[in-house]
């Protein structure tokens, strides 16, 4: 791995090339923040603002040589305008009860396994251990909260969210496969936007968007949104 320094003089490493998970026959590479640097919610917020993303204890940003398709996306919570289908989704799920937890929960872990079995049974995420689950979703020094959504007492969705001084970062959402008609992934984002508004936080970070990847098209339906490319945030058209 090669040593580099990013625009904020934080020590980084460049990963070895690997097969892209989203675009067939593409080769990917990441810029990774030095894992020896103590991670805090404040540092995470700063790095989210320059296009980085958290996975477990690691912060990374795509750094591919031949492709710039992965675009970090954020939404300005105060200016968000829900579409007609998003308003309908919000109403449909208005009966869900929310509560927040921090740390490991057996009930959440069982839902996570059920979700992966239904959605990603053929991926390297399948059959996770508790250690893998915790290592993927949490990080020491970061304010990560597990936002639960229940229907008549049953846990049907969890939105894992990093809270930073600059905004909320949608880490991962998983839900019960029997409730797909509720579009709970969309609802989780709508709820996080609403929560950011309540907390008077300016941004909701949605991770990476790839125009050519159909599975990511939903991210561009949240408007007005911005993408980080050319080393600055720019408006993304809906």
The whole-angstrom separation of Cα 81 and Cα 223 is 6
Question: Is the confidence at residue 5, as pLDDT, over 70?
Answer: no
Residue 162 lies in a domain: yes
Residue 13 lies in a domain: no
Q: For 75-126, what is each residue's pLDDT tens digit?
A: 999 999 999 999 999 999 999 999 999 989 999 999 999 999 998 767 778 7
- What is the CATH classification number for the domain harbouring 89? 3.40.630.30
Residue 167 lies in a domain: yes
Structure confidence at residue 57 (pLDDT): 95
Torsion of CA 123, 192, 144, 228, to 10 degrees: 70
Residue 149 lies in a domain: yes
Q: For 29-54, what is each residue's pLDDT tens digit?
A: 999 999 999 999 999 999 999 999 99
Question: Is the confidence at residue 226, as pLDDT, over 70?
Answer: yes
The whole-angstrom separation of Cα 149 and Cα 92 is 13
The whole-angstrom separation of Cα 217 and Cα 219 is 5
The domain tally of the chain equals 1
The whole-angstrom separation of Cα 237 and Cα 6 is 28
Structure confidence at residue 8 (pLDDT): 53
Residues spanned by the domain of 82: 75-207
Residue 227 lies in a domain: no
Structure confidence at residue 238 (pLDDT): 63
Residue 203 lies in a domain: yes
- pTM higher than 0.75: yes
């Amino acid at each position: 791995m090669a040593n580099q320094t990013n625009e904020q003089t934080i020590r980084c490493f460049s990963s070895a090339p690997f097969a892209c998970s989203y675009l067939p026959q593409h080769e990917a590479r990441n810029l990774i923040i030095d894992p020896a640097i103590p991670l805090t919610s404040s540092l995470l917020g700063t790095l989210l603002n320059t296009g980085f993303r958290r996975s477990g204890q690691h912060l990374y940003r795509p750094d591919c040589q031949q492709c710039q398709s992965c675009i970090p996306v954020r939404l300005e919570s105060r200016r968000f305008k829900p579409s007609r289908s998003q308003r309908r989704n919000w109403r449909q799920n208005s009966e869900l009860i929310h509560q927040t937890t921090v740390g490991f929960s057996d009930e959440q872990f069982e839902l996570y396994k059920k979700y992966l079995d239904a959605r990603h049974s053929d991926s390297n995420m399948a059959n996770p251990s508790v250690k893998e689950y915790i290592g993927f979703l949490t990080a020491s020094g970061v304010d990560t909260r597990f936002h639960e959504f229940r229907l008549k007492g049953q846990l049907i969705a969890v939105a894992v969210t990093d809270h930073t001084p600059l905004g909320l970062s949608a880490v991962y959402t998983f839900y019960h496969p029997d409730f797909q008609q509720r579009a709970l992934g969309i609802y989780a984002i709508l709820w996080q936007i609403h929560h950011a508004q309540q907390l008077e936080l300016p941004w909701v970070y949605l991770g990476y968007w790839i125009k050519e990847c159909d599975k990511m098209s939903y991210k561009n339906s949240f408007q007005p949104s911005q993408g980080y490319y050319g080393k600055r945030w720019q408006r993304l058209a809906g």
